Amino acid sequence: MEEEERQKNGLELIASENFVSPTIRSVCGSVLTHKYAEGYPGKRYYGGCEVVDKIEHEVQEQFKALFQAEYVNVQPHSGSSANLAVYFASLKPGDTILGMDLAHGGHLTHGSSVSISGKWFHAVSYTVDRISHTIDFDDVRAKLAKHRPKILIAGASSYSRIIDFAAFRTLADEFDTLLLVDMAHIAGLVAAGLHPSPVEHAHFVTSTTHKTLRGPRGGIILMGKDFDNPFGVVAQKSGRTKRMSELLDASIIPGIQGGPLLHIIAAKGVCASEAATPAFVQYQHQVCANAQALAEACESKGMMAVSGGTDNHIVLLDLRSQKITGRDAERILDSVGITVNKNMIPYDPNGPLTTSGIRLGTPAVTTRGMKETDMHTIAELISRTLQGDDLDSIRKTVREFASHFPLFLEVSEEVYAK
């Protein structure tokens, strides 16, 4: 397949992509894809669900244990679906939500005007500091005081520093708002104990199961200590009191989805079991070490890392000193087999379709077995490409370099057990 060859022969630096284990791939293609099972374990609209009921219940328990959660819904098809379900369960159209500005590292589903989150709700946004490029909590407080949102959203898609969830919860409590944390990008780091967990602080936590968590493409919703808290966790519906967990379940089915993808849910379970191993913790340490090495190596080549570096798997580069836009950088790097995405930098003078930066991530190359010294090689290849060196020569070098870190048919389970 062309796509398999592209992945094997190139360098995957998209921060939201990873390579799953052979076991996860096989479960995704298993006979579970045949089963329709609208509803939840013990409450299905179809017969023949006794086996998938056991599977889904077990996967729920695995994620509860992994993230020390009291509630989990494993049916969301994506992180975006998970976020929409939280809105659907706790808001009415026109309610105000406050999330990180997309141009400063937020996500489309945190209130962007082109997303349903920005079309159905009155969305306002907070920013990062102009100098440090870290979250401006003074701005968060000011926006909370001015707009009194129903939900405050923490989490990002291109933010490379630790997020202080305790500080967000303090502000949420002060202004009587619900706190939603979208940990899609950092879920693997949270599972490994390398980033503070949001579960003990947030009313709701959503995540994808791919990215750093290295599972199949999909989403989850979690709740922790506020599982039984009357503030925002229960509501009056149809003349009786319903727990927020019931409202969240109903917001997925029949609210925004139909039948769950049982083959993906089972693969999520494999993902949770892999994430509970010492090898996974070791992997996440290497992800972070590689990101720091990549940021330092890129800066040594004159490419500035936004916020001065990284605490996680993301390196956001400001390319203005290289006299090239993010859009052009993405295109030329792709031509030599280095896959990145154009990305806005804070206070970007260019628009979202052009951008002044690119976003790099280390989960996928770390899964292939690359270490810090390899990040220096990658930075050198990126620099040479952007400076206009011989692209044919670089393309051959990338292919040769990638061949030392085999994927798919050549790779064994030991890559995921190291």
Q: What is the pLDDT of residues 161-181, one digit of tens each?
A: 999 999 999 999 999 999 999
Spatial distance between the Cα atoms of 221 and 207, rounded to a whole number of angstroms: 7
Which residue out of 134, 208, 366, 385 is catalytically annotated? Answer: 208
Please check whether residue 44 is in contact with residue 254, taking contact to mean a CB–CB distance below 8 angstroms. no
Residue 243: other Cβ atoms inside 10 A: 16
β-strands 11-12, 338-339 pairing: parallel
What secondary structure letter does DSSP report for 8? H
Compute CA distances 345 → 106, 163, 321, 352, 401, whole Å: 11, 18, 13, 10, 30
Does the annotation mark 56 as catalytic? no
Which residue out of 44, 211, 359, 395 is catalytically annotated? Answer: 211
Biggest alpha carbon–alpha carbon distance for the chain: 71
| Mean predicted lDDT score pLDDT of the chain | 94
Residue 296: other Cβ atoms inside 10 A: 17
Tokens for 365, please give them.
Answer: 């190359």
Q: What is the H or E stretch that residue 262 is in?
A: helix 262-275
Q: Would you place residue 1 in the very low, low, confident or very high pLDDT band (cuts 50, 70, 90)? A: confident
Helix, strand, coil shares, percent, the chain, to 5: 50, 15, 35
Across 208-236, average pLDDT: 79
81-131 residue pLDDT tens? 999 999 999 999 999 999 999 999 999 999 999 999 999 999 999 999 999
Q: Would you place residue 229 in the very low, low, confident or very high pLDDT band (cuts 50, 70, 90)? A: low
Tokens for 331, please give them.
Answer: 């295109």
Q: Which residues contact 182 (CB under 8 A, 6 or more apart)?
A: 79, 83, 107, 109, 110, 153, 154, 155, 156, 205, 206, 207
Question: Which of 221-235, 318-332, 333-347 is predicted least confidently?
Answer: 221-235
Does the annotation mark 38 as catalytic? yes
Across 352-377, average pLDDT: 97
Which residue out of 56, 101, 182, 249 is catalytically annotated? Answer: 182
121-162 residue pLDDT tens? 999 999 999 999 999 999 999 999 999 999 999 999 999 999
Place of tokens 């909590």: 137
- Whether the CA torsion 88, 91, 95, 96 is positive or negative: it is negative
Q: Which amino acid would we find at residue 310?
A: T
pLDDT at 230: 45
Residue 234 has pLDDT above 70, yes or no: no
| CA angle in degrees (0–180, nearest 5) for 198-14-366 | 80
In three-state secondary structure terms, 177 is coil
Residue 3: other Cβ atoms inside 10 A: 7
Q: Which residues contact 337 (CB under 8 A, 6 or more apart)?
A: 6, 9, 10, 11, 395, 398, 399, 402
Residue 248 has pLDDT above 90, yes or no: yes
Tokens for 70, please give them.
Answer: 């009291």
Which residue out of 38, 70, 139, 296 is catalytically annotated? Answer: 38
Spatial distance between the Cα atoms of 260 and 252, rounded to a whole number of angstroms: 9
Residue 377 has pLDDT above 60, yes or no: yes
Does the annotation mark 129 as catalytic? no
pLDDT at 240: 58
Q: What is the CA radius of gyration of the chain?
A: 21
Kindly give the interhelix angle for 278-300 and 262-275, rounded to the nearest 10 degrees: 80
Which residue out of 36, 327, 397, 399 is catalytically annotated? Answer: 36
Q: Which residues contact 140 (CB under 8 A, 6 or more apart)?
A: 98, 126, 152, 168, 171
Quick check: pTM over 0.85? Answer: yes
List, in sequence order, every beta strand (DSSP E) within 212-298: 219-223, 234-237, 240-243
pLDDT at 417: 58
pLDDT at 231: 45
Does the annotation mark 211 as catalytic? yes
Please check whether residue 79 is in contact with residue 255, taking contact to mean a CB–CB distance below 8 angstroms. no
Residue 415 has pLDDT above 70, yes or no: no
pLDDT at 242: 73
Q: Would you place residue 414 in the very low, low, confident or very high pLDDT band (cuts 50, 70, 90)? A: low
Spatial distance between the Cα atoms of 191 and 91, rounded to a whole number of angstroms: 29
Residue 232 has pLDDT above 70, yes or no: no
List, in sequence order, every beta strand (DSSP E) within 287-388: 304-305, 314-318, 338-339, 341-343, 357-361
Does the annotation mark 413 as catalytic? no
Does the annotation mark 217 as catalytic? yes
Spatial distance between the Cα atoms of 345 and 330, rounded to a whole number of angstroms: 15
Q: Would you place residue 418 in the very low, low, confident or very high pLDDT band (cuts 50, 70, 90)? A: low
Compute CA distances 299 → 110, 294, 315, 361, 383, whole Å: 31, 9, 11, 15, 10
Residue 367 has pLDDT above 60, yes or no: yes
Which residue out of 217, 342, 359, 368 is catalytically annotated? Answer: 217
Spatial distance between the Cα atoms of 205 and 139, rounded to a whole number of angstroms: 22
Place of tokens 């229960």: 234
Compute CA distances 381 → 162, 295, 333, 386, 415, whole Å: 28, 14, 9, 9, 25
